[in-house]
A and B are shown apart, each in its own frame.
Chain A
Amino acid sequence: MSLKSVRLILILDLFGSDSWEQNGLIGKNRLTSSLLKSETKSLVRFLTLYILLSSVVIVLLSIFYYESQNRLVLAQQRTLLSTYTHEMIRKLKRTHHFFEESPIYPRDSRFQSAIYDREYYKIFSLLEVTKVSFNEEIYRTKGKLHYVTVLDNYYLGAKYLVIEIEDDHQWIKATLQDIVVFGLVALIALALFGLYLSRLFLTPMRNSILLLDRFIKDTTHELNTPLSAILANIELMDTSVMVEKNKKKLHRINIAAKTVSAIYKDLTYLILEKDRMSNEDIDIDMGRLIDDRVEYFDILAQSKNITFKLQLSPTLFRMDKKKATRVVDNLLSNAIKYNRRNGTITIMLQPNRLEIIDSGIGIEESKIPYIFDRYLRFNQSEGGFGIGLSIVKTILDEYRIAIEVHSKLDWGTQVILTW
């Protein structure tokens, strides 16, 4: 076996093809198990609407229940008030016939009463609430219950006899208590049912994402061997003996291989690194890391004649190096990918801030909130799966690093990380 072959095998081993099976490529990983941002948004919207409608239904049912209870209580009181009315009529009859001897209005300690003539003029009243509604037979008013009877014989000229008693509020308390308890139970039950329903509706969407995940996992797995071979062979090639034409071709192959490699690393991170439970945090010299990555991407940048402008202050940040590399790589890769020819990329590093500004095509302001969504790509002309910024956001969130994106079409994009 030649020296070149040995180096190729070593590089292949570095990718660790055995680890694919160990990490369960086919099963759900943490990402697919948790809800996506768009899913959460749909879920929240659906649940809000569902709970709102459920609340309206519950409120309507509560009103109906309250009214039925009210009618029930009034029906019970009507019997009592009817008895009082008959007693009063008998007494009014007596007063009518013996008015000259005793012009005293009949009183009763159990209730108050009043009589009105045919034109609703008050003849005599002992009512505490004087406003009477002659159109209703029985009604509640200001804590009192009024019962209005039209008399057959107008004793003392009275056509209307009104009986007034205290309104018992106990039933209102009991009814409201019932409404609150049963309403809440119903609302919770409906909300749970809504949650179940919404998850049921979201299943097709989740399945398609799961399918895409599986596809990417399988594809990544298949990419491993050929990509390793290409990269290894480029490294092994002796360019000093090549003619200029072949050198250019190799240069292009190198660019293409590095682009694919960047995608591959993102996918590997997504499948393998993300599920890794613990981070290997170390103090990273961010300036050096950026310098290294700029050098790595330089060959890509040169293909579009892009110039890097670096202002790097010495900065240490405690973080998992692989994750830090993914963040920087993705931001740089995007800055190159979406830049124009002869453009610039300015990278400014300060002790608590990293700023990457490109002079590229930019993105619409309305689309900025969605750039971190997985599988979302606004520009189809460039390659990629739309997972780079999703990975960046996940890592930044993990390390509590804030990210701001400012962009203007045909002006460029400015990405600011602060910690």
Chain B
Amino acid sequence: MKIRTILELLDAKVLCGEDKLDGAVHSACGCDMMCDVLAFVKEQAVLVTGLCNPQVVRTAVMMDMRCIVFVRGKMPPADVIALADDAGLVVLATNERMYTACGKLYANGLAGGEVINE
């Protein structure tokens, strides 16, 4: 799914990475616990979260994710957006709640990921 499609489906705003909206993501992870995200394996994924601290960006970087969507109208601080911009991530913000945002993406064909087995 193109990131531009996520933007449209969630009626979101672009906070950074506007030049990368035609990039594709292959899976999604909706989560506020970053250590759960780190157990999630797919690269080229989108992280859907309501948490707005720098660790969200670092977690996305560690997992080679392409895009972060902040839900529930959460607006990350400028330093968090700058960190994401430096890392080449696309950051979107939507007023949708986590459940609805994930449901819309799933219903439109964006799959969930896998958890690595020990």
A binds B: no
- Give chain B's interface residues, CB within 8 Å of chain A: none
